[in-house]
Amino acid sequence: MRAALAVLSVAGTPAVADTELLAFMGGQGCTFGPASRAAAEATGFSADTIGALVAQSLSDGTAVQQGEYVVLGEAVCTIRLPDIRSAYSVSSPEIAAITSAVDAHASDGMPGCFVVGASELFDKMNGGVPGAGFSEHIAFIAAGLMAGDLRFYSPSILQTPIAFQSLAGACAEVPDIPVLRDSHVALTTGFGEYVRALGAAMPCAGASSGDLPFEQSVMARFTATIQGVDPNVPLEDQPRINAWLWYEYDLIGMAAGWHEGMTGTDRGTPRPPLCHYDEATG
């Protein structure tokens, strides 16, 4: 794994830095904290190597202290999609059983195969207590989004999708499949930029911390822009996009563990790199 990570390019690496560690940290949001340090050590990086990178980065200004977290700057660390795995996919029998036919909602203007009742399914598979299957459920969603097998799609922020949409097999035979494919490219290529932008806009403390409407107001515009929307162009000339790409990003960040106090009924509050403190500490 470390050999593969080393292939990723890292510019402006501090003198004492392990480039493989920096590449690994890209999947941790370029943020050192208790969980990411443990993950790095479990992968084979020594505590001394981690400590040296953190100390050097803080010393030379290529990282900032954010509460108990240390966020590496984009000059030395490129944020990438996190490594999230799930035992389930859209092709799993359990998921296929709760997926609608491609034309089930066509009369409502929403053609496509929708995975309906996934939260309840994962709870049932984990003992039946509400919220018991949350971790598995959100990992399934995030892994599917990153693979391009699942989408939360609507061309308008005013129209909420029925559910997550499967693109397996014949389920991909929908009119907006080009938009779905293009927005997946935006998801994979724009994730790091999204995280950096949200981290700069979202406070870790205060009334706006963890506020979903606030995040939507900021990030819906951002994700529209990375899909080609130009605010200076008339609406009728704008490209058709996935107006809910920001929400897909949000779910991936949650599945990566970048929220604190998260439960099956509470999305918790973002932590760095998804937010910042008004004054960096340290």
Q: What is the residue extent of each domain of the chain?
A: 2-72, 179-270
Query: Quick one: pLDDT at residue 114?
Result: 97
Phi and psi at 269, nearest 5°, equal: -125, 140
The per-residue pLDDT of the chain, averaged, comes to 89
Provide φ and ψ at 137, rounded to 5°.
-65, -50
pLDDT over 90 for what percent of the chain?
A: 71
Question: Do 254 and 264 touch, CB atoms closer than 8 A?
Answer: no
User: Between vectors from CA 247 to CA 68 and to CA 192, what angle results, nearest 5°?
Assistant: 55
| 230-276 confidence digits (pLDDT tens) | 877 887 778 899 999 999 999 999 999 999 888 877 788 899 999 99
Q: % helix / strand / coil in the chain, to the nearest 5?
A: 45, 10, 45
| DSSP conformation class of 117 | S
- In sequence order, what are the residues at sequence separation of 6 or more whose Cβ sits closer than 8 angstroms to the Cβ of residue 157? 216, 220, 243, 244
Three-state secondary-structure class, residue 164: strand
**pLDDT tens-digit profile of 194-224?**
999 999 988 998 766 666 777 777 788 888 8
Of the pLDDT bands very low, low, confident and very high (cuts 50, 70, 90), residue 113 is very high
Residues 32-60: pLDDT tens digits? 999 999 999 999 999 999 999 999 999 99
pLDDT of 86 strictly over 90? yes
